[in-house]
Amino acid sequence: MSSDAEFNGADGLEDAARLVGVPDEYQRLWTPHRMAYISGGPDAHDDNCPFCNAPSMDDEKALIVHRGEHAYVVLNLFPYNTGHVLVCPYRHIAMYDDVTLDEAVEIATLTQQAMRVLRHVSGTEGFNIGMNQGKVAGAGVAGHLHQHVVPRWSTDSNFLPIIARTKAMPRLLGEVRDSLAEAWQQFS
């Protein structure tokens, strides 16, 4: 094995190009699909809202699980856990206090249905439910209100998210969408 001095440049920083493929103690979970989200930057959705575009697309392509009259349910493209869905009003509004009574009722109803479907399909033991409103509150798409429904299991947490800030997703998005959409009919 070479000494550390061989890999250090004149300024003391490692020459990363020479380290590519050199084995070390870390395992890597490659997620190149996330570059679409990262490279867009913090204002990527200001002029091109994914929650306004999704309803005009095919359900499978848009990952839409269910369409209601005032709101719809879509899989999160960057989920915290398998089955992480978003409940979105069709109208492009930013804040919860801007929804109409009909929209509020349907968002609540679809959230409850999503919980029932997720329990049925994947044995969900609990949920994190919430809305981040505004960029300062952590909303990735601040201009279009959306409620997160994140399924939780007693075994869904391990060292990866804590130490490596990485989540392992055991099922593909299309597969999850299909199973949730099929089961949704039983809970409507």
Q: Would you name the residues annotated as active-site residues?
A: 146
Residues 6+ apart with CB under 8 A from 176: 75, 82, 83
d(CA 111, CA 170) in angstroms, rounded, equals 23
Helix/strand number for the chain, H first, E second: 8, 5
Q: Which of 32, 48, 36, 34 is nearest to 141 (CA)?
A: 48
| Secondary element (H or E) of residue 110 | helix 101-122
